[in-house]
């Protein structure tokens, strides 16, 4: 296969022979559950998942690409776990809705740990579970939409994150526990880039039992420790819970509102063209002649004492490409930017985080990357570059490319768009 209008990219893909397998998951396929296909797959394999409902699954020590295929988003009722990804591997998840509220246990909808490779997530929706007021103080906590710990690098593009709501106590003793809410996206250490996404922290739990407990703190859109780049996103904090008073035990404090972004200690953030809606703090108890403080309102960007933010002036640039594509299917590279931008696209068979002092935003297509000139953005602000995949491109059942647009504006400043993956499929699939 090759691109009818992209001979430069075709030369790149033809230079590498790929022998990874393609496994198909669907209600009427040999694999009816994603976990069974994951267990059968080797690193580098591609899983194509048809629309339907699937159980939780776990990927341990494998670099796989798991893509939604066909109309409709596959729904995972539970949690996606990724663990122990080797440093030379990439894990790709694209086109899924993952809802932890539909599982029996209280959990995040995506959880990744101890990953030295790159986590690459696109066009997914993640919903963390709500806290449970009946069991324990731990179970009362709302869970994050997605959570990474001890993971080196991640890319998130066109995703939606919703943290779970903190548990509230009821007006009887059957539901005594109050919990803090989950964050939309929680990132623990590493280097992470989020593009064109919406992240929402949920509301903290409140005291409906009038027993003087302090209310739960709200979740932030993103809570992060490490190095963060956020571009073109909507970032929402939840509302802090409200407290009440008990005539014997006094009054509880209100919960803090969630911030759009919350940067923890020893962290750095760069932000470009984002929208913020921080949450309000909840009211403290005030009754029986005593009172407790209200919760603090959230901030657009909340920084620990040694954390830093650099707010970059300018507009986010966006690159959109449909994936996967089969031979003879028509595709298009669509770039949103400013009229007059000169647009180039980088293309590579590999991806890793890189920076350049002459480019705003990180770069992900890894050397050797090829560069193609697409044209100038017209007055409407969007450049479309159509192409078709034709026979003769690649030597295996699939070829995966990593793309990123570079937009040189009229002032000589170069902005990097979001990166994106493009999977090209043999006609057998």
Of 249, 407, 220, the residue nearest 315 (C-alpha): 407
pLDDT grade, residue 393 (50/70/90)?
A: low
Same domain, 114 and 82: yes
Do 33 and 103 lie in one domain? The reply is yes
Q: Are residues 82 and 135 in the same domain?
A: yes
Cα separation, 149 vs 84, in Å, equals 11
Please check whether residues 72 and 112 belong to one and the same domain. yes
Mean pLDDT of all residues belonging to the chain = 91
Give the whole-angstrom CA distance, residue 390 versus residue 327.
5
3-state helix, strand, coil in the chain (%, to 5): 5, 45, 50
Same domain, 203 and 295: yes
The residue among 273, 293, 312 that closes a domain is 312
- Based on the domain organization, do 345 and 373 belong to the same domain? yes
Model confidence at 395, pLDDT cuts 50, 70, 90, reads: low
What is the percent of the chain with per-residue pLDDT over 70, rounded to a whole number? 93
CATH code for position 330 = 2.20.130.20
User: In 84-182, at which residue ranges do the beta strands (DSSP E only) sit?
Assistant: 90-94, 97-99, 110-122, 125-127, 146-157, 160-162
Assess contact for 413 and 362: CB atoms under 8 A: no
Q: Average pLDDT of 273-288?
A: 93
Range of the domain at 409: 321-425
| Whether residue 160 sits in one domain with residue 120 | yes
386 CB-side CA count, 13 A: 3
The pLDDT value given to residue 428: 72
Q: Which of 119, 111, 116, 69 is nearest to 91 (CA)?
A: 119
Reference 29, options 57, 65, 70; nearest CA is 70
Phi, psi at residue 101, to the nearest 5°?
A: -65, -20
Length of the chain: 429
State the pLDDT at residue 392. Answer: 54
Beta bridge partners of 119: 91, 154
Total number of domains constituting the chain: 2
Are the C-beta atoms of residues 140 and 130 closer than 8 Å to each other? no
Give the span between the Cα atoms of 35 and 206, in whole angstroms: 38
Task: Kindly indicate the confidence band of residue 135, based on its pLDDT and cuts at 50, 70 and 90.
Answer: confident
Contact (CB, 8 A) for 163 and 201: yes
240 pLDDT tier (thresholds 50, 70, 90): very high
Judge if 211 and 259 occupy the same domain: yes
Give the pLDDT confidence score for residue 394 in this predicted structure: 56
Query: Based on the domain organization, do 184 and 305 belong to the same domain?
Result: yes
Residue with tokens 């000589």: 412
In this predicted structure, what is the pLDDT of residue 196? Answer: 98
**Co-location of 257 and 118 in the same domain:** yes
Residue 165 and residue 260 in one domain = yes
Q: Where is 37: in which H helix or E strand? A: helix 34-40
Q: What is the pLDDT of residues 29-46, one digit of tens each?
A: 999 999 999 999 999 999
Lowest mean pLDDT among 27-31, 136-140, 205-209, 288-292: 288-292
Mean pLDDT over 356-376 rounds to 95
DSSP for 333-364 reads: EEEE--TT-EEEEEEES-EEEE--TTEES-EE
Q: Are residues 305 and 391 in the same domain?
A: no
Domain end, chosen from 312, 339, 354, is at 312
- Give how far Cα 301 sits from Cα of 145, 203, 261, 298, 316, Å: 19, 18, 5, 8, 18
What's the pLDDT band for 211 if we cut at 50, 70, 90? Answer: confident
Closest to 240 measured CA to CA, from 202, 212, 210: 202
Residue 29 near residue 48 (C-beta atoms within 8 A): no
What tokens does 73 get? Answer: 């988003």
Q: For residue 4, what pLDDT is reported? A: 41
Structural domain ending residue among the three candidates 295, 312, 329:
312
Separation in Å, CA 50 to CA 27, 56, 161, 414: 8, 15, 22, 38
Q: Is 419 left (phi over 0), alpha (psi -120 to 50) or beta?
A: beta
Tokens 């350049």, located at residue: 356
pLDDT, tens only, 284-312: 988 777 789 999 999 999 999 999 999 99
């Amino acid at each position: 296969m090759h691109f009818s209008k992209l001979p430069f990219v075709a030369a790149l893909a033809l230079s590498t022979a790929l022998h990874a397998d393609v496994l198909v998951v669907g209600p009427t396929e040999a694999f009816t559950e994603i976990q069974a296909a994951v267990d059968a797959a080797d690193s580098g394999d591609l899983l194509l998942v048809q629309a339907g409902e699937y159980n939780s699954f776990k990927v341990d020590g494998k670099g796989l690409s798991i893509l939604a295929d066909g109309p409709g988003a596959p729904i995972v009722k539970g949690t996606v776990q990724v663990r122990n990804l080797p440093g030379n591997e990439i894990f790709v998840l694209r086109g899924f809705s993952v809802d932890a509220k539909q599982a029996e246990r209280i959990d995040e909808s995506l959880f990744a740990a101890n990953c030295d490779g790159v986590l690459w997530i696109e066009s997914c929706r993640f919903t963390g579970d709500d806290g449970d007021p009946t069991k324990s103080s731990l179970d009362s906590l709302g869970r994050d939409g997605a959570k990474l710990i001890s993971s080196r690098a991640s890319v998130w593009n066109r995703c939606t994150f919703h943290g779970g709501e903190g548990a509230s106590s009821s007006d009887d003793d059957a539901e005594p526990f109050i919990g803090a809410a989950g964050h939309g996206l929680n990132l623990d250490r590493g280097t992470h880039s989020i593009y064109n996404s919406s992240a929402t922290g949920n509301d903290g739990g409140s005291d409906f039992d009038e027993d003087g407990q302090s209310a739960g703190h709200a979740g932030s859109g993103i809570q992060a420790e490490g190095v963060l780049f956020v571009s073109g996103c909507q970032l929402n904090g939840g509302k802090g819970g409200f407290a009440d008073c008990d005539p014997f035990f006094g009054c509880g404090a209100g919960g803090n509102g969630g911030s759009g972004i919350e940067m923890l200690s020893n962290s750095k953030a760069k932000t470009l063209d984002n929208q913020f809606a921080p949450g309000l703090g909840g009211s403290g108890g005030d009754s029986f002649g005593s009172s407790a403080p209200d919760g603090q309102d959230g901030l657009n960007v909340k920084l620990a004492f040694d954390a830093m933010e650099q707010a970059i002036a300018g507009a986010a640039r966006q690159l959109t490409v449909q994936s996967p594509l089969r031979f003879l299917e028509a595709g298009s590279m669509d770039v949103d930017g400013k009229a007059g931008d000169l647009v180039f696209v980088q293309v590579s068979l590999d991806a890793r985080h890189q920076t350049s002092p002459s480019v705003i935003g990180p770069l992900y297509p890894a050397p050797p990357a090829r560069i193609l000139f697409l044209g100038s953005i017209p007055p409407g602000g969007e450049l479309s570059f159509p192409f078709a995949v034709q026979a003769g491109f690649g030597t295996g059942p699939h070829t995966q490319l990593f793309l990123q647009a570079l937009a040189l504006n009229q002032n000589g400043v170069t902005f990097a768009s979001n990166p994106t993956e493009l999977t090209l499929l043999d006609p057998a699939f």
